[in-house]
Structure 1
Protein backbone atom coordinates (compact mmCIF):
# COMPACT_ATOMS: atom_id res chain seq x y z
CA UNK A 1 0.00 0.00 0.00
CA UNK A 2 1.44 3.36 -1.05
CA UNK A 3 2.11 6.09 1.48
CA UNK A 4 -0.56 8.82 1.27
CA UNK A 5 0.53 12.32 0.38
CA UNK A 6 0.08 15.29 2.70
CA UNK A 7 -2.59 16.61 0.31
CA UNK A 8 -4.56 13.35 0.60
CA UNK A 9 -4.38 13.43 4.38
CA UNK A 10 -5.40 17.10 4.43
CA UNK A 11 -8.45 16.47 2.23
CA UNK A 12 -9.87 13.97 4.72
CA UNK A 13 -8.40 15.18 8.02
CA UNK A 14 -9.08 18.91 7.58
CA UNK A 15 -12.56 19.18 6.05
CA UNK A 16 -13.93 22.67 5.50
CA UNK A 17 -16.63 22.16 8.12
CA UNK A 18 -13.90 21.72 10.74
CA UNK A 19 -12.04 24.89 9.81
CA UNK A 20 -15.24 26.92 9.59
CA UNK A 21 -16.44 26.13 13.10
CA UNK A 22 -17.30 29.46 14.67
CA UNK A 23 -16.60 28.57 18.30
CA UNK A 24 -14.72 25.29 18.02
CA UNK A 25 -11.61 26.45 16.19
CA UNK A 26 -9.00 28.58 17.98
CA UNK A 27 -7.71 31.63 16.12
CA UNK A 28 -4.14 30.32 16.40
CA UNK A 29 -5.25 27.10 14.76
CA UNK A 30 -6.66 28.96 11.77
CA UNK A 31 -3.76 31.40 11.61
CA UNK A 32 -0.85 28.96 11.63
CA UNK A 33 -1.24 25.73 13.60
CA UNK A 34 -3.46 23.89 11.13
CA UNK A 35 -0.82 24.58 8.50
CA UNK A 36 1.74 22.79 10.69
CA UNK A 37 -0.43 20.12 12.28
CA UNK A 38 -1.25 18.37 9.02
CA UNK A 39 2.42 17.42 8.59
CA UNK A 40 2.49 16.05 12.15
CA UNK A 41 -0.73 14.14 11.42
CA UNK A 42 0.77 12.76 8.20
CA UNK A 43 3.81 11.54 10.18
CA UNK A 44 1.70 10.10 13.01
CA UNK A 45 -0.47 8.23 10.51
CA UNK A 46 2.59 6.14 9.62
CA UNK A 47 2.99 4.98 13.24
CA UNK A 48 0.89 2.69 15.49
CA UNK A 49 -0.12 5.60 17.75
CA UNK A 50 -3.86 6.07 18.22
CA UNK A 51 -5.79 9.37 18.25
CA UNK A 52 -6.61 8.90 21.94
CA UNK A 53 -2.93 8.41 22.74
CA UNK A 54 -2.18 11.69 20.96
CA UNK A 55 -4.85 13.32 23.11
CA UNK A 56 -3.16 11.82 26.17
CA UNK A 57 0.12 13.43 25.12
CA UNK A 58 -1.75 16.71 24.68
CA UNK A 59 -3.01 16.52 28.27
CA UNK A 60 0.45 15.73 29.63
CA UNK A 61 1.97 18.62 27.67
CA UNK A 62 -0.65 21.11 28.90
CA UNK A 63 -0.18 20.11 32.54
CA UNK A 64 3.61 20.18 32.09
CA UNK A 65 3.34 23.78 30.90
CA UNK A 66 1.66 24.69 34.18
CA UNK A 67 4.30 22.81 36.18
CA UNK A 68 7.15 24.58 34.38
CA UNK A 69 5.49 27.93 35.00
CA UNK A 70 5.99 27.45 38.74
CA UNK A 71 9.72 27.94 38.19
CA UNK A 72 11.05 31.52 38.39
CA UNK A 73 12.68 33.45 35.58
CA UNK A 74 12.08 34.36 31.96
CA UNK A 75 13.39 31.04 30.61
CA UNK A 76 10.68 29.10 32.46
CA UNK A 77 7.99 31.40 31.08
CA UNK A 78 9.28 30.93 27.53
CA UNK A 79 9.47 27.15 27.95
CA UNK A 80 5.90 27.07 29.28
CA UNK A 81 4.73 29.08 26.25
CA UNK A 82 6.50 26.64 23.91
CA UNK A 83 4.87 23.69 25.67
CA UNK A 84 1.47 25.34 25.18
CA UNK A 85 2.23 25.59 21.46
CA UNK A 86 2.98 21.85 21.41
CA UNK A 87 -0.26 21.32 23.35
CA UNK A 88 -2.16 23.25 20.67
CA UNK A 89 -0.39 21.31 17.91
CA UNK A 90 -1.40 17.97 19.44
CA UNK A 91 -4.91 19.31 20.01
CA UNK A 92 -5.17 19.83 16.26
CA UNK A 93 -3.51 16.56 15.28
CA UNK A 94 -5.52 14.19 17.47
CA UNK A 95 -8.77 15.04 15.69
CA UNK A 96 -7.10 15.04 12.29
CA UNK A 97 -5.63 11.60 12.94
CA UNK A 98 -9.03 10.33 14.12
CA UNK A 99 -10.71 11.53 10.94
CA UNK A 100 -7.96 10.13 8.70
CA UNK A 101 -7.96 6.71 10.35
CA UNK A 102 -11.70 6.60 10.94
CA UNK A 103 -11.11 6.06 14.68
CA UNK A 104 -13.32 8.82 16.00
CA UNK A 105 -14.92 8.02 19.35
CA UNK A 106 -16.84 9.48 22.26
CA UNK A 107 -13.82 8.67 24.41
CA UNK A 108 -11.70 10.90 22.22
CA UNK A 109 -14.17 13.78 22.49
CA UNK A 110 -14.31 13.32 26.26
CA UNK A 111 -10.52 13.22 26.66
CA UNK A 112 -10.19 16.32 24.49
CA UNK A 113 -12.50 18.25 26.79
CA UNK A 114 -10.68 16.93 29.87
CA UNK A 115 -7.40 18.08 28.34
CA UNK A 116 -8.68 21.63 27.95
CA UNK A 117 -9.91 21.67 31.54
CA UNK A 118 -6.60 20.36 32.88
CA UNK A 119 -4.33 22.58 30.80
CA UNK A 120 -6.02 25.89 31.52
CA UNK A 121 -6.34 25.10 35.22
CA UNK A 122 -2.70 23.98 35.44
CA UNK A 123 -1.39 27.15 33.81
CA UNK A 124 -3.41 29.44 36.07
CA UNK A 125 -2.35 27.48 39.16
CA UNK A 126 1.27 27.56 38.00
CA UNK A 127 0.98 31.31 37.49
CA UNK A 128 -0.29 31.72 41.05
CA UNK A 129 2.68 29.79 42.46
CA UNK A 130 5.03 31.75 40.20
CA UNK A 131 3.81 35.05 41.66
CA UNK A 132 4.07 33.86 45.27
CA UNK A 133 6.88 34.77 47.65
CA UNK A 134 6.02 31.90 49.98
CA UNK A 135 3.80 28.87 49.36
CA UNK A 136 0.99 29.37 49.92
CA UNK A 137 0.19 33.06 49.99
CA UNK A 138 -2.61 35.18 48.54
CA UNK A 139 -1.20 34.94 45.01
CA UNK A 140 -1.32 31.16 45.27
CA UNK A 141 -4.95 31.40 46.36
CA UNK A 142 -5.76 33.76 43.50
CA UNK A 143 -4.17 31.35 41.02
CA UNK A 144 -6.37 28.53 42.29
CA UNK A 145 -9.41 30.84 42.26
CA UNK A 146 -8.76 31.80 38.64
CA UNK A 147 -8.30 28.12 37.73
CA UNK A 148 -11.60 27.24 39.40
CA UNK A 149 -13.30 30.06 37.51
CA UNK A 150 -11.88 28.87 34.18
CA UNK A 151 -13.09 25.32 34.86
CA UNK A 152 -16.56 26.50 35.89
CA UNK A 153 -16.86 28.63 32.75
CA UNK A 154 -16.16 25.57 30.61
CA UNK A 155 -18.59 23.57 32.74
CA UNK A 156 -21.32 26.11 32.09
CA UNK A 157 -20.90 25.52 28.37
CA UNK A 158 -20.75 21.74 28.60
CA UNK A 159 -23.71 21.53 30.97
CA UNK A 160 -25.93 23.04 28.29
CA UNK A 161 -25.57 19.85 26.26
CA UNK A 162 -26.01 17.75 29.42
CA UNK A 163 -29.29 19.52 30.16
CA UNK A 164 -30.46 19.16 26.57
CA UNK A 165 -29.49 15.48 26.41
CA UNK A 166 -31.39 14.70 29.62
CA UNK A 167 -34.41 16.41 28.10
CA UNK A 168 -34.14 14.32 24.94
CA UNK A 169 -32.88 17.18 22.77
CA UNK A 170 -29.93 17.32 20.40
CA UNK A 171 -26.83 19.36 21.21
CA UNK A 172 -27.12 23.13 20.94
CA UNK A 173 -26.03 24.67 17.65
CA UNK A 174 -23.49 27.46 17.37
CA UNK A 175 -26.23 29.69 15.94
CA UNK A 176 -28.37 29.31 19.07
CA UNK A 177 -25.51 30.68 21.17
CA UNK A 178 -25.85 34.03 19.39
CA UNK A 179 -29.65 34.20 19.53
CA UNK A 180 -31.09 36.05 22.52
CA UNK A 181 -34.57 36.75 23.75
CA UNK A 182 -33.55 40.35 24.48
CA UNK A 183 -32.02 42.66 21.88
CA UNK A 184 -30.18 44.58 24.60
CA UNK A 185 -28.56 41.40 25.90
CA UNK A 186 -27.58 40.44 22.35
CA UNK A 187 -25.86 43.81 21.92
CA UNK A 188 -24.14 43.46 25.28
CA UNK A 189 -22.84 40.00 24.36
CA UNK A 190 -21.47 41.27 21.05
CA UNK A 191 -19.73 44.14 22.85
CA UNK A 192 -18.20 41.78 25.41
CA UNK A 193 -17.10 39.39 22.67
CA UNK A 194 -15.45 42.24 20.77
CA UNK A 195 -13.30 43.13 23.80
CA UNK A 196 -11.95 39.54 23.95
CA UNK A 197 -11.02 39.97 27.60
CA UNK A 198 -12.11 36.39 28.32
CA UNK A 199 -9.17 35.12 26.30
CA UNK A 200 -6.73 36.34 28.93
CA UNK A 201 -7.41 33.19 30.98
CA UNK A 202 -7.19 30.79 28.03
CA UNK A 203 -4.07 28.65 27.65
CA UNK A 204 -2.54 30.00 24.42
CA UNK A 205 -3.16 33.67 25.09
CA UNK A 206 -2.22 33.46 28.78
CA UNK A 207 1.06 31.68 28.06
CA UNK A 208 2.12 34.51 25.75
CA UNK A 209 1.02 37.19 28.23
CA UNK A 210 3.04 35.44 30.94
CA UNK A 211 6.20 35.79 28.82
CA UNK A 212 5.55 39.53 28.47
CA UNK A 213 4.92 39.76 32.22
CA UNK A 214 8.19 37.90 32.91
CA UNK A 215 10.07 40.53 30.92
CA UNK A 216 8.25 43.38 32.69
CA UNK A 217 9.06 41.81 36.07
CA UNK A 218 12.54 43.31 35.75
CA UNK A 219 10.93 46.74 36.38
CA UNK A 220 7.74 46.08 38.35
CA UNK A 221 5.74 43.06 39.64
CA UNK A 222 3.84 42.40 36.41
CA UNK A 223 3.28 38.69 37.13
CA UNK A 224 1.52 39.50 40.39
CA UNK A 225 -0.66 42.06 38.66
CA UNK A 226 -1.47 39.44 36.03
CA UNK A 227 -2.57 36.91 38.66
CA UNK A 228 -4.93 39.45 40.22
CA UNK A 229 -6.28 40.36 36.77
CA UNK A 230 -6.85 36.69 35.88
CA UNK A 231 -8.80 36.08 39.10
CA UNK A 232 -10.99 39.14 38.49
CA UNK A 233 -11.56 38.27 34.82
CA UNK A 234 -12.44 34.67 35.68
CA UNK A 235 -14.98 35.82 38.29
CA UNK A 236 -16.60 38.39 36.02
CA UNK A 237 -16.63 36.05 33.03
CA UNK A 238 -18.16 33.27 35.12
CA UNK A 239 -21.18 35.44 35.91
CA UNK A 240 -21.51 37.00 32.45
CA UNK A 241 -21.23 33.63 30.72
CA UNK A 242 -23.96 32.14 32.91
CA UNK A 243 -26.26 35.11 32.17
CA UNK A 244 -25.48 34.76 28.47
CA UNK A 245 -26.45 31.08 28.46
CA UNK A 246 -29.67 31.63 30.40
CA UNK A 247 -30.66 34.51 28.13
CA UNK A 248 -29.85 32.70 24.88
CA UNK A 249 -31.89 30.09 23.06
CA UNK A 250 -29.46 27.27 23.88
CA UNK A 251 -31.78 26.01 26.61
CA UNK A 252 -34.96 26.55 24.57
Structure 2
Protein backbone atom coordinates (compact mmCIF):
# COMPACT_ATOMS: atom_id res chain seq x y z
CA UNK A 1 0.00 0.00 0.00
CA UNK A 2 1.66 3.21 -1.17
CA UNK A 3 1.59 6.42 0.79
CA UNK A 4 3.43 8.25 3.56
CA UNK A 5 4.83 6.47 6.57
CA UNK A 6 3.52 7.17 10.07
CA UNK A 7 6.71 9.10 10.85
CA UNK A 8 6.31 11.28 7.75
CA UNK A 9 2.68 11.92 8.60
CA UNK A 10 3.45 12.77 12.20
CA UNK A 11 6.00 15.38 11.16
CA UNK A 12 3.49 17.30 9.03
CA UNK A 13 0.08 16.41 10.47
CA UNK A 14 1.03 16.70 14.16
CA UNK A 15 3.27 19.77 14.39
CA UNK A 16 4.44 21.13 17.73
CA UNK A 17 1.82 23.90 17.49
CA UNK A 18 -0.84 21.19 17.67
CA UNK A 19 0.79 18.74 20.07
CA UNK A 20 1.93 21.36 22.60
CA UNK A 21 -1.27 23.37 22.82
CA UNK A 22 -3.39 23.07 25.95
CA UNK A 23 -6.36 25.44 25.65
CA UNK A 24 -7.63 24.15 22.29
CA UNK A 25 -7.06 20.43 22.83
CA UNK A 26 -9.30 18.03 24.73
CA UNK A 27 -7.61 16.25 27.63
CA UNK A 28 -8.33 12.88 26.00
CA UNK A 29 -6.52 14.06 22.87
CA UNK A 30 -3.49 15.03 24.92
CA UNK A 31 -3.60 11.86 27.02
CA UNK A 32 -4.02 9.19 24.34
CA UNK A 33 -6.06 9.99 21.21
CA UNK A 34 -3.36 11.96 19.35
CA UNK A 35 -1.13 8.90 19.74
CA UNK A 36 -3.84 6.74 18.16
CA UNK A 37 -5.26 9.16 15.61
CA UNK A 38 -2.08 9.27 13.52
CA UNK A 39 -2.69 5.60 12.64
CA UNK A 40 -6.27 6.41 11.67
CA UNK A 41 -4.88 9.27 9.57
CA UNK A 42 -2.39 6.84 7.99
CA UNK A 43 -5.37 4.80 6.77
CA UNK A 44 -7.56 7.77 5.80
CA UNK A 45 -4.96 9.44 3.56
CA UNK A 46 -5.06 6.27 1.46
CA UNK A 47 -8.76 6.73 0.78
CA UNK A 48 -10.48 9.26 -1.52
CA UNK A 49 -12.11 10.92 1.49
CA UNK A 50 -11.58 14.67 1.83
CA UNK A 51 -11.00 16.30 5.24
CA UNK A 52 -14.55 17.70 5.20
CA UNK A 53 -15.97 14.25 4.44
CA UNK A 54 -14.06 12.86 7.39
CA UNK A 55 -15.59 15.63 9.52
CA UNK A 56 -18.96 14.49 8.19
CA UNK A 57 -18.22 10.98 9.42
CA UNK A 58 -17.33 12.48 12.79
CA UNK A 59 -20.74 14.15 12.94
CA UNK A 60 -22.47 10.88 12.01
CA UNK A 61 -20.58 9.03 14.77
CA UNK A 62 -21.54 11.66 17.35
CA UNK A 63 -25.22 11.70 16.45
CA UNK A 64 -25.29 7.89 16.26
CA UNK A 65 -23.87 7.78 19.80
CA UNK A 66 -26.86 9.79 21.03
CA UNK A 67 -29.30 7.50 19.22
CA UNK A 68 -27.63 4.38 20.63
CA UNK A 69 -27.53 5.79 24.16
CA UNK A 70 -31.31 6.26 24.01
CA UNK A 71 -31.70 2.48 23.78
CA UNK A 72 -32.12 0.43 26.98
CA UNK A 73 -29.50 -1.84 28.46
CA UNK A 74 -25.82 -1.82 29.31
CA UNK A 75 -24.68 -2.73 25.80
CA UNK A 76 -26.26 0.43 24.42
CA UNK A 77 -24.22 2.55 26.85
CA UNK A 78 -21.07 0.65 25.87
CA UNK A 79 -21.85 1.19 22.18
CA UNK A 80 -22.43 4.92 22.72
CA UNK A 81 -19.12 5.29 24.59
CA UNK A 82 -17.26 3.50 21.77
CA UNK A 83 -18.93 5.69 19.14
CA UNK A 84 -17.81 8.80 21.02
CA UNK A 85 -14.25 7.47 21.01
CA UNK A 86 -14.57 7.06 17.23
CA UNK A 87 -15.98 10.59 17.08
CA UNK A 88 -12.94 11.87 18.98
CA UNK A 89 -10.52 9.98 16.74
CA UNK A 90 -12.14 11.40 13.58
CA UNK A 91 -12.11 14.85 15.19
CA UNK A 92 -8.32 14.54 15.44
CA UNK A 93 -7.80 12.87 12.07
CA UNK A 94 -9.79 15.32 9.94
CA UNK A 95 -7.38 18.13 10.82
CA UNK A 96 -4.37 15.85 10.41
CA UNK A 97 -5.51 14.83 6.93
CA UNK A 98 -6.17 18.48 6.08
CA UNK A 99 -2.65 19.48 7.13
CA UNK A 100 -1.03 16.60 5.22
CA UNK A 101 -3.02 17.26 2.02
CA UNK A 102 -2.88 21.06 2.47
CA UNK A 103 -6.66 21.21 2.22
CA UNK A 104 -7.46 23.25 5.31
CA UNK A 105 -10.50 25.48 4.83
CA UNK A 106 -12.94 27.77 6.57
CA UNK A 107 -15.67 25.28 5.67
CA UNK A 108 -13.78 22.62 7.59
CA UNK A 109 -13.59 24.80 10.69
CA UNK A 110 -17.31 25.52 10.37
CA UNK A 111 -18.23 21.84 9.97
CA UNK A 112 -16.08 20.95 12.97
CA UNK A 113 -17.98 23.43 15.14
CA UNK A 114 -21.33 22.16 13.82
CA UNK A 115 -20.23 18.62 14.64
CA UNK A 116 -19.55 19.51 18.27
CA UNK A 117 -22.92 21.26 18.54
CA UNK A 118 -24.86 18.33 17.10
CA UNK A 119 -22.98 15.54 18.85
CA UNK A 120 -23.15 16.92 22.38
CA UNK A 121 -26.82 17.80 21.94
CA UNK A 122 -27.61 14.33 20.55
CA UNK A 123 -25.91 12.61 23.48
CA UNK A 124 -27.83 14.64 26.06
CA UNK A 125 -31.13 14.05 24.27
CA UNK A 126 -30.36 10.33 24.05
CA UNK A 127 -29.59 10.28 27.77
CA UNK A 128 -32.97 11.89 28.45
CA UNK A 129 -34.81 9.22 26.47
CA UNK A 130 -32.77 6.52 28.21
CA UNK A 131 -33.74 7.87 31.63
CA UNK A 132 -37.41 7.81 30.64
CA UNK A 133 -37.21 4.04 30.24
CA UNK A 134 -38.86 3.93 26.82
CA UNK A 135 -39.47 6.14 23.79
CA UNK A 136 -42.46 7.81 25.45
CA UNK A 137 -41.45 11.42 26.25
CA UNK A 138 -41.51 12.28 29.93
CA UNK A 139 -39.95 14.73 32.35
CA UNK A 140 -36.53 13.15 31.98
CA UNK A 141 -36.80 13.56 28.22
CA UNK A 142 -37.62 17.22 28.76
CA UNK A 143 -34.57 17.58 31.02
CA UNK A 144 -32.40 15.93 28.36
CA UNK A 145 -33.61 18.41 25.74
CA UNK A 146 -33.12 21.29 28.19
CA UNK A 147 -29.53 20.19 28.89
CA UNK A 148 -28.91 19.86 25.12
CA UNK A 149 -30.23 23.37 24.52
CA UNK A 150 -28.02 24.69 27.31
CA UNK A 151 -24.95 22.97 25.85
CA UNK A 152 -25.66 24.49 22.43
CA UNK A 153 -26.20 27.96 23.85
CA UNK A 154 -22.95 27.80 25.84
CA UNK A 155 -21.05 27.08 22.64
CA UNK A 156 -23.00 29.82 20.86
CA UNK A 157 -21.99 32.31 23.56
CA UNK A 158 -18.35 31.57 22.79
CA UNK A 159 -18.74 31.68 19.01
CA UNK A 160 -20.79 34.87 19.09
CA UNK A 161 -17.81 36.71 20.59
CA UNK A 162 -16.00 36.29 17.26
CA UNK A 163 -19.18 37.23 15.36
CA UNK A 164 -19.58 40.44 17.37
CA UNK A 165 -15.91 41.36 16.94
CA UNK A 166 -15.94 40.60 13.20
CA UNK A 167 -19.03 42.77 12.67
CA UNK A 168 -17.25 45.56 14.51
CA UNK A 169 -14.20 45.25 12.28
CA UNK A 170 -12.01 43.63 14.94
CA UNK A 171 -9.82 40.54 14.77
CA UNK A 172 -10.32 37.53 17.04
CA UNK A 173 -9.68 38.26 20.70
CA UNK A 174 -6.32 37.07 22.10
CA UNK A 175 -6.30 34.61 25.01
CA UNK A 176 -5.24 37.38 27.39
CA UNK A 177 -8.57 39.13 26.74
CA UNK A 178 -10.37 36.32 28.57
CA UNK A 179 -9.01 37.60 31.89
CA UNK A 180 -11.81 39.04 34.00
CA UNK A 181 -11.66 42.67 35.06
CA UNK A 182 -13.06 41.83 38.49
CA UNK A 183 -10.70 40.02 40.87
CA UNK A 184 -13.65 38.45 42.70
CA UNK A 185 -15.16 37.07 39.49
CA UNK A 186 -11.74 35.85 38.42
CA UNK A 187 -11.34 33.87 41.64
CA UNK A 188 -14.84 32.44 41.27
CA UNK A 189 -14.11 31.35 37.69
CA UNK A 190 -10.85 29.70 38.70
CA UNK A 191 -12.67 27.84 41.48
CA UNK A 192 -15.34 26.67 39.02
CA UNK A 193 -12.65 25.62 36.52
CA UNK A 194 -10.88 23.62 39.23
CA UNK A 195 -14.08 21.67 39.96
CA UNK A 196 -14.44 20.81 36.24
CA UNK A 197 -18.21 20.47 36.63
CA UNK A 198 -18.78 21.93 33.16
CA UNK A 199 -17.24 18.81 31.63
CA UNK A 200 -20.26 16.79 32.68
CA UNK A 201 -22.13 17.92 29.56
CA UNK A 202 -19.23 17.41 27.14
CA UNK A 203 -19.43 14.39 24.86
CA UNK A 204 -16.40 12.34 25.94
CA UNK A 205 -16.93 12.80 29.67
CA UNK A 206 -20.69 12.33 29.46
CA UNK A 207 -20.40 9.10 27.47
CA UNK A 208 -18.07 7.62 30.11
CA UNK A 209 -20.19 8.77 33.06
CA UNK A 210 -23.32 7.47 31.32
CA UNK A 211 -21.58 4.11 31.00
CA UNK A 212 -20.83 4.11 34.73
CA UNK A 213 -24.45 4.92 35.58
CA UNK A 214 -25.59 2.19 33.18
CA UNK A 215 -23.45 -0.33 35.07
CA UNK A 216 -24.95 0.86 38.38
CA UNK A 217 -28.46 0.59 36.93
CA UNK A 218 -27.75 -2.90 35.58
CA UNK A 219 -26.64 -4.01 39.06
CA UNK A 220 -29.56 -2.36 40.85
CA UNK A 221 -32.21 -3.26 38.30
CA UNK A 222 -33.52 0.30 37.86
CA UNK A 223 -32.77 3.64 36.23
CA UNK A 224 -32.07 5.76 39.31
CA UNK A 225 -28.41 6.46 38.49
CA UNK A 226 -29.17 7.51 34.90
CA UNK A 227 -32.02 9.73 36.09
CA UNK A 228 -29.79 11.45 38.63
CA UNK A 229 -27.27 12.05 35.84
CA UNK A 230 -29.92 13.67 33.61
CA UNK A 231 -30.98 16.02 36.40
CA UNK A 232 -27.34 16.89 37.10
CA UNK A 233 -26.70 17.60 33.41
CA UNK A 234 -29.69 19.94 33.21
CA UNK A 235 -28.58 21.82 36.34
CA UNK A 236 -24.97 22.10 35.18
CA UNK A 237 -26.04 23.32 31.74
CA UNK A 238 -28.28 26.00 33.27
CA UNK A 239 -25.67 27.22 35.75
CA UNK A 240 -22.85 27.12 33.20
CA UNK A 241 -24.97 29.03 30.66
CA UNK A 242 -25.34 31.95 33.07
CA UNK A 243 -21.77 31.86 34.42
CA UNK A 244 -20.26 31.69 30.95
CA UNK A 245 -22.28 34.69 29.77
CA UNK A 246 -21.23 36.69 32.84
CA UNK A 247 -17.56 35.78 32.32
CA UNK A 248 -17.67 36.94 28.69
CA UNK A 249 -19.33 40.26 29.56
CA UNK A 250 -16.91 40.82 32.45
CA UNK A 251 -13.83 40.11 30.33
CA UNK A 252 -12.09 42.20 27.65
CA UNK A 253 -13.16 39.95 24.78
CA UNK A 254 -15.85 42.39 23.66
CA UNK A 255 -13.60 45.44 23.79
Q: Quick check: TM above 0.5?
A: yes
Q: What is residue 140 of structure 2 aligned with on the other side?
A: 139
CA distance in 2, matches of 1:159, 1:19: 27
SS of residue in 1 equivalent to 2:171: coil
What is the deviation of 1:173? 2.2
SS, match of residue 77 in structure 1: helix
- Structure 1 gaps of 5+ residues are none
Hey, what's the Cα distance between the residues in 2 that align with 1:169 and 1:157?
16
Do 1:23 and 1:174's aligned partners in 2 also have CA atoms closer than 8 Å? no
* Residue aligning to 1:189: 189
Is structure 2 residue 229 aligned with structure 1 residue 226?
Answer: yes
Q: TM-score, normalised by structure 1?
A: 0.97
Match of residue 248 from structure 1: 251
- Partner of 1:24: helix, strand, or coil? coil
How far apart in 2 are the matches of 1:3 and 1:57? 22
SS at match of 2:89: helix
Give 3-state SS (helix, strand or coil) of 2:3's partner.
Answer: coil
User: What residue is the counterpart of 1:76 in the other structure?
Assistant: 76
Residue 163 (structure 1) aligns with: 164
Q: Secondary structure at the match of 1:184?
A: helix
Q: TM-score, length-normalised on structure 2?
A: 0.95
CA–CA distance in 2 between the matches of 1:227 and 1:148?
13
CA shift for structure 1 position 229:
0.4
Match of 2:118 in 1: 118
1:14-66 C-alpha deviation (Å, 9 max, x unpaired): 11112233321000000000000011112211221100000000000000000
Q: Determine the structure 2 residue equivalent to 1:216.
A: 216
1:1-252 aligned at under 5 Å gives the runs 3-133=3-133, 135-177=136-178, 179-217=179-217, 218-219=219-220, 221-252=224-255
CA distance in 1, matches of 2:209, 2:95: 27
> Do 2:72 and 2:133's aligned partners in 1 also have CA atoms closer than 8 Å?
no
Instruction: Give the superposition deviation at 1:3.
Output: 3.0
- C-alpha deviations, 1:121-179, integer Å up to 9, x for none? 000000000000451110000000000000000000000000010011111222322x1
Are 1:9 and 1:100, in contact at CA under 8 Å, matched by a contact in 2? yes
Shift of 1:8: 1.3
Number of matched residues? 250
Q: Indicate the larger mover: 121-130 or 4-13.
A: 4-13
Q: 1: distance between equivalents of 2:109 and 2:152?
A: 17
Question: How many Å separate the matches in 2 of 1:73 and 1:89?
Answer: 25
